[in-house]
Amino acid sequence: MVVSPSVPPISAAGLPDLTGALGSFPISIELSSLVLVVLTVLVGIFIGAVSVVLIYHWRRFPFEHDIFRTAERVYLSGVALMLVGVVIGILAA
């Protein structure tokens, strides 16, 4: 079977006219709540894994207990704050 390649039309400048092939611009981006929820779940899995690893290290390191205890509080407070932003955004979207 022979497949003949489709040749795009040639523009006035002598270059292939790819306007139709690339679609129309501007590309309009829309986000549904479902997409946001899926993204949140994926990021949540990532953050959960990282949190376990970080807290595991902070609690086992013997030389800097005080600073790592503070780090744990600051880290978890930041995570909670940003999760509030995510939840508010999803509920309002």
d(CA 93, CA 73): 30
Binding flag, residue 82, another protein (CB under 8 A): yes
Of residues 16, 64, 65, 70, which one binds another protein by CB under 8 A?
64
Binding flag, residue 21, another protein (CB under 8 A): no
Binding flag, residue 53, another protein (CB under 8 A): yes
CB 36 within 8 A of CB 91: no
Binding flag, residue 62, another protein (CB under 8 A): yes
Shortest distance, CB of residue 9 to another protein, whole angstroms?
A: 22
